[in-house]
Amino acid sequence: NTNINRTQKARAHTNIALIKYWGKADEQLIIPEDNSLSLTLKDFYTDTEVRFDKDLTADEIVFNNHLMNKAESQKMINFLNIVRQKAQQNIFAHVKTQNNIPTAAGLASSASGFAALAAASSKAIGLDLSRKDLSRLARRGSGSATRSIFGGFVEWEKGNNDQTSFAKPIEENVDWDVNLVAVITNRHEKKISSRRGMKISKATSPYYQAFKQVTSRDLITMKKAISNHDFDLMGHTAEENAMKMHALTFSSDPSFTYFNGDTLKAMQLVHELRNEGINCYFTIDAGPNVKVLVQHDNLKKVIRKFKTAFGQSNVVATVPGPGIEYLN
Ligand code: PMV
């Protein structure tokens, strides 16, 4: 292949799940138990460049200007192995990846990371994948990455095998009033990976089947809210669904939680704001940081409240963002 020495660069934005994915039907292929739905975010993204090089004897991965050792890069190497296998090529790669998250850390995401790696590496090795096939490929790195191929509101249709499990855009250009305020309460890596957390919940929470049932209902409500541009129904449904997911962590054996004290404080502030007549709603993924959905008229008040409580640098506002972009 004549193009194989070229550097390919891609940008993928992270996403926040409004209807949560929590549990795998197939751990190897990352097929989820249920459909999920997310919003891609403009200001949190990963840029990744990849060049395959037949002189290399191993993959060389630089993450935020730090050369990763083998243990640190194992998940990315496993992913590159899948790409090599698809392309029937046996060459190693230089990978340079940069997380562009305004406040350094705390929102780092495997979603944008594996979506960007899927796009850049598949192109660099000479595969010309459709967005559907990119979504399927990104899924092999991390479930949430399946959705980051597309912009705006995105649904991951669970399917039942590698061919049929991929994401689809619901509304790529969000042309109505949706803002998100990220509240960072902790910048460290989470102790329980989502991979492990969902496995424990599926195996032990007595509420797991109930979660599946309500999630399929919440998904229908969420899609209706999006198509009607009904902000309050969207926010309310997202907040309820997030709490149901986190209830699975509390009810697992051993039980665990991603919340810290400041997570609870942020949730309480959202309740206070609503009591003051300011419509905003929170959602939380597998970590302690809180994302608040709010409309433009209330944005300033919400930002002020959270900055006062958590400090200037721990509150970042953003809007819906685009899907995968190639940068060269
Ligand atoms: O795919 P992972 O390992 O990033 O897990 C995602 C789990 C949640 O963020 C909690 C829910 C979701 O749908 O993104």
pLDDT, position 178? 98
- Please check whether residues 29 and 146 belong to one and the same domain: yes
Which has the closest alpha carbon to 261: 310, 315, 197, 201? 310
**Domain range enclosing 312:** 182-318
Q: Quick one: what percent of the chain has pLDDT higher than 70? A: 96
The yes/no answer to whether this complex scores an ipTM above 0.85 is yes
Q: Which atom of ligand 1 is nearest to the CA of 110?
A: 4
162-165: long-range contacts (C-beta < 8 A, 24 or more apart)?
162/29, 162/31, 162/136, 163/136, 165/29, 165/30, 165/31, 165/32, 165/136, 165/139
Residues 170 and 198 in one domain: no
Last residue of a domain, one of 154, 175, 196: 175
CB-based contacts of 284, cutoff 8 Å, min separation 6:
242, 246, 258, 259, 263, 267, 290, 291
Tell me, in angstroms, the distance from the centre of ligand 1 to residue 291's CA: 14
Q: How many domains does the chain have?
A: 2
201 and 165 housed in the same domain: no
Asked if 309 contacts 35 with a C-beta cutoff of 8 angstroms, the reply is no
CATH assignment at residue 87: 3.30.230.10
Sign of CA dihedral 190, 193, 199, 200: negative
In a domain, 33, yes or no: yes
**Last residue of one domain, picked from the residues 175, 203, 226:** 175
Position 22 in a domain: yes
pLDDT at 84 over 70: yes
**Any atom of ligand 1 within 6 Å of the Cβ of 249:** no
Q: Which atom of ligand 1 is nearest to the CA of 21?
A: 13
- End-of-domain residue from the set 120, 141, 175: 175
Above 80 in pLDDT, residue 2? no
Task: Say if residue 124 is in the same domain as residue 193.
Answer: no
Cβ of 143 below 6 Å from ligand 1: yes
- Answer yes or no: do 146 and 249 share one domain: no
Domain contains 328: no
Residue 219 and residue 105 share a domain: no
Per-residue pLDDT reduced to its tens digit, 139-165: 999 999 999 999 999 999 999 999 999
CA pseudo-torsion sign 122, 126, 132, 137:
negative
Q: Does residue 140 share a domain with residue 41?
A: yes
**Cβ(302)–Cβ(181) below 8 Å:** yes
How far apart (Å, rounded) are the C-alpha atoms in residues 291 and 191? 20
Same domain, 78 and 20: yes
Strand-pair category, 92-100 with 60-63: parallel
> Of all atoms in ligand 1, which is nearest to the CA of residue 30?
1
User: What is the C-alpha separation between 203 and 292, in angstroms, rounded?
Assistant: 30
């991929």: which residue's tokens?
166
- In a shared domain, residues 29 and 134: yes
Q: What is the CATH number of the domain that holds 230?
A: 3.30.70.890
Taking CA atoms only, the protein residue closest to ligand 1 atom 8 is 285
Confidence of residue 104 (pLDDT cuts 50, 70, 90): very low
**Residue 102: per-residue pLDDT:** 59
For ligand 1, say whether the CB of 49 is within 6 Å of any of its atoms: no
Mark whether 193 and 273 lie in a shared domain. yes
